[in-house]
Amino acid sequence: MRGLVVLVTLACFASAQHQALIDYLERRLLAIEDRISLWHEQTNRYATELRELKQQMVAQLENLDKENEVLRNTLESVGARVDRVEREMDYLETQNGAQPCVDMDDKLMEQQVTQVKEDNKAKYAKLSDCRDMISSIKAMKILKKLGGPKGTWSKDVSRGSGRVYIFNGTDGDTIHEFATVHDFTGSLGFTRAKAVTLPSAWRGTGHVIYNSHAYYVKQGEEVELVKYDMRNGSVTDTAVFPVQDNLPVYSLTPETVVDLAVDEEGLWAIYATRENDRYISMAKMDAKSLDTEQMWDTTCPRENAEAAFVICGTLYVVYNTKQPGRSRVQCVFDVNGMVTSDDAPLVYFPKRYGAHSSLKYNPLEQLLYAWDDGYQILYKLVMKKKLEV
């Protein structure tokens, strides 16, 4: 009988433990279900907020697209109006002509022009039969923006050479040489360029590359011209420029005291002196020896001048017209006396960013290589004969 009681007691104890375990498991399952329910609730809330945010972003993007379209239409309208105004300004300037840069009595100006013509005819023989002159600018191409706001760039003016040369800035001792125009335009900075270190520093923006030689201006107590062979890396010749008391040749590029130029006839030097401080002078140079062959005082003012170049013995001086995006050839001097500023056609440069710090003419291509506020620009020229003026 006692054994039966013990068994009943053990059975009751086991049943109680089993019930307690079941109760515990039920509580755990309820807690898990509550957490799952809370997770579902939070997930649904996050999904709802995400949908609302997406709808807001879509609406904002649609509004931005509409505003962008309105702005683009407005800019196109403004651009069309600006182009129309520029065409009207060109027409008015062509009809009325530009005012001279220097206030001077007309009779006195005519006397000076006549006197200069007579002096040149008496002193100098005709240089050659080259009769080309500018008729207009056919096209403008901006190749890239490289370097500082002022500098010089050009091709080597010699047949068979496609090399491009960069004088970055207004002083230094390094020329950057690109093998081709393609290398120049495709280069990131000067990565494709060969750095050529010169034996002395150059000054200004008046340098040229002619027949595989760099002609540059070295300025110290005296103004010295240096001829450097780019092929073997040596100085071929030097010469002190035979003018005392040099002044900056252009008022808008005061770093340049001598501007070297190349045309169909060879090497030229454009300069200014205190003796004739209001006007620009020019000289014909011997490219082999750097000797000065002939010199002229022109009637082209220095005031408001940006740059100049020579074509067939004719000096073209470019002035800032003080109109947005405009420069103009406003003074012409022909060493042979065939063309004057009154005879020459109006030549406007289509657009510019600041002012031309250099203009280099390539007679083989009939192109102008321009440096304008760090932009390297090509101007394609339309030529005509001087006798057709």
Residue type, 275: E
In sequence order, which ranges of the chain are alpha helices (DSSP H)?
Answer: 2-96, 106-123, 181-186
**Rg for the chain (alpha carbons), in Å?**
39
Whether 46 and 3 share a structural domain:
yes
pTM of the model: 0.68
Q: What is the mean pLDDT of the chain?
A: 84
> pLDDT digits over 207-222, tens only?
999 999 999 999 888 8
Measured CA to CA, the distance from residue 113 to residue 300 in angstroms comes to: 10
Of 130 and 365, the structure prediction assigns the larger pLDDT to 365
Q: Are residues 22 and 145 in the same domain?
A: no
What pLDDT is recorded for position 125?
Answer: 44
Burial class (CB in 10 A: 0-12, 13-18, 19+), 32: exposed
Judgement on whether residues 115 and 251 belong to the same structural domain of the protein: yes
For residue range 278-328, list pLDDT tens digits in order: 999 999 999 999 999 999 999 999 999 999 999 999 999 999 877 766 788
Q: What is the pLDDT of residue 247?
A: 92
On whether both 63 and 139 belong to a single domain, the answer is: no
Please check the confidence at residue 117 and state whether its pLDDT lies above 60: no
Q: Beta strand 258-263 with 164-168: parallel, antiparallel or unpaired? A: unpaired
pLDDT in the model for residue 13? 63
pLDDT exceeds 90 at position 190: yes
Both 75 and 137 in one domain: the answer is no
Verify that 109 and 22 share a domain, yes or no.
no
In the predicted structure, residue 31 carries a pLDDT above the cut 60: yes
Task: Let me know whether 253 and 379 are in one domain.
Answer: yes
Which of 54, 79, 97 is at the close of a domain?
97
pLDDT value of residue 124: 43
Domain of residue 17: give its range. 1-97
CA distance 158 to 142: 23
Answer positive or negative: Cα dihedral of 326, 330, 334, 339.
positive
Residues 30 and 77 in one domain: yes
At 88-110, the pLDDT tens digits run 565 555 445 444 444 445 555 56
Mean pLDDT of 257-266: 95
Q: Looking at 97, 117, 151, which one is the last position of a domain? A: 97
Q: Which of 64, 97, 130 is the last residue of a domain?
A: 97
Is 252 in the same domain as 189?
Answer: yes
Query: Got the DSSP string for 84-137?
Result: HHHHHHHHHHHHH-PPPSS---HHHHHHHHHHHHHHHHHH-----S--EEEEEE
Q: How many domains does the chain have?
A: 2
Q: What is the pLDDT of residues 133-179, one digit of tens each?
A: 998 898 889 999 999 999 999 999 988 788 999 999 999 999 999 99
Ranked by mean pLDDT, the top range of 105-119, 320-334, 347-361, 371-385 is 371-385
